[in-house]
Structure 1
Amino acid sequence: MTEFAQDTLKPKADNPAAPRLLHWLPAAFLLAVVGLGAVVTLTSPGFQERVTGKDIITGTWQLSWEKGLDAKVPWRDPSVNLWGSMNYRLFAEARDGALVGKEGWLFTSEEYQTAAGDEAEIAAKVKYISEVRDELAKDGAKLVVVLIPAKARVYSEDLSAQVPAQKAPVYASFRQSLTTAGIISPDLLASFQAEKQKSSRDLFFRTDTHWTPEGAKVAAQTVALAVQELAPDLPPAEYAVQIKPATERRGDLLRYVPGPAPDQVREGEYIRTDEGGGGLLGDETLAVTLVGTSYSADSKDNVWHFDDALSQALKTEVLNAAQEGKGPIVPMREYLKSEDRKNNPPRIVIWEIPERFLRVKYQETK
């Protein structure tokens, strides 16, 4: 059974030391919402509307009516968000899926979860990565694994709940297992810790699971050092970066708690400045391929541009084969069978794997 770290450091409504107001506030809020909701619902068009073409006896009419009512009642979402905000500000708690840290920091519960089969699953990951290394070697390509340390590991000082002790050695032990297997894996944790000592810039978003543009840049520079030792003569490319004005960004963890302020982000726009840049549509061969998760994928929500930061740090254009929402294993399985690999055989494959996915079981790996 999966276990979750509980945020026992925060004042709960059943905490005798908490103000008496907090003991009855949740019930009062619920009664008020239910009472107001009943009045609004009974007078709303959605309540009085009959769904035609549905059978009352079999229940299909009721199901359709409930779905329509849920969409049309105007107070539902505001009440949920209001209670989420109050729960955050009064109890410093989030809904299941996130944990509240200090000074507006939020963390995904995935980084706290443990289960009896974690050790075996992590060992299976090492085995599969070794198989991928061997498959790529058939074409002469070399594999570099970018293990992204958990946000809770990098910013442990901002936690308000204790991470299970068995998770403490995971990052170092996994990298050691890769090294023993002969697989290159740069130490991003050490680079992030060193950057924190000399800079006040956040390397992860406070309200998001992902790294910031600054974190992606530090990672890219660390990875570039390892790649350049393996392949010092990559096809050249030059890049410049223009920093855009600061904007607000609502992180993915705000879905679980609407209280904290959004992050401020200054996105970088990377521009190739030399005469090359044909990519797969021109005569230029791309020697480096990036495979991974949403930390790398080219999507509308990607403001960190890890692929572009890699291209700049490596001084070569990088082919991005990362995918969003599939974890680290599926994109690699699909890349190995893809036209991208067939038409543009790489010399280096960079595989980005977040630490928080190591314990997640994927049937595709079996």
Structure 2
Amino acid sequence: MINRLTKTLLFLIVTIGLAFPSQTSCGYCNKKVDGRYIIFETKTYHKSCYQTHIQVKCSHCSKKIDGHYSIYNDKSYHAGCYKKYVQIRCDHCGNTISDAYNIDNDKKYHKACYVNNILEKCDACLNPIEGKYNKDYWGNIYHQKHNDEFPSCDNCNRLMCERITQGGYTIDKKRNICSLCYPKIIVKQSQIINIDKEVKSVLSDIGINNIPSNIPISIVNSMAELDHISTIRLGNVRGYTHYNVNTLAGRKIKEEFHIYVLSNLHELAFKAVLAHEYLHVYLFQNDYDLESDLREGFCNLGSQLILKKDNSIVSNYLLDSMYESDDLDYGKGFIKMNKMLEKKGWNKLLNYLVKLSK
């Protein structure tokens, strides 16, 4: 907020003269003026009337004012009293303010002091931020213009610039990975072994313990490749489960699963995707044919289970992204299934799936 300092600098103009018999009466007591008189603001006064009743007095020290004086908020002050005791001071540098000033949280600042020392600084360029700005999940703030200058990390959504993420890299000119997420990304098959065990253990704790142990898990390098492998709409989904079943006389004689997960995901995101895909396996195994919103919403409960167990800022970011999604299946469908879970618990929800099946 910018305020203007309301102050008037005046000079007290007083004329001292000698009265003649024909002169007017005193502007204060209305008696005839004889002898010496004082004219102030076009009115004539006895010297004693002027000094006692009319002469301007300083509102700070109460002494009479001669010469220059200042008016502030309809009160008069000696120039020295005003500057020392009344004039507004900057809450940053302590010096007096004599021009436009800024108010922030009831504190007053010189404009330069406010811009250079009080305004928040952009985490991307370190310059002061005036007007609208962006703030990410991690608390970084930056000018809106930087959205057009730098890409955002596909894992954490931080702005990929030197000061916020120490840069990063781009995959196939489409996907971006920041340097903060890089140490935790999954790119090799050997990294999956322990992740697979952990995810299966978490699912076993809620009663899903019959996931086949030999399901191949492949890392896919691009969204385009994932789209090519799948036969359904993927959108921005990061995993896919291929299911093939052989039957004889209406009975299953062979089931085959193959899970595909996008590469360069943060370890937590990879775990969440794998849990989601394992719940697809569970639905296939039990012949639960749910509507798409219930199906994807149910599978996202597996992702939620993994992320809540971790309870880190990264997992909380991924969780909040799920809760805030407006996708009909992965967002709204997830919220719908999560309400069922909160009401029934895992055991009853798993038993209830047969009723939700088409």
User: TM-score, with normalisation over the residues of structure 1?
Assistant: 0.28
Structure with higher strand content: 2
Indicate the structure (1 or 2) with the bigger Cα radius of gyration. 2
Q: Which has the higher contact order (CA 8 A, sep 6+)?
A: 1
User: TM-score, with normalisation over the residues of structure 2?
Assistant: 0.29
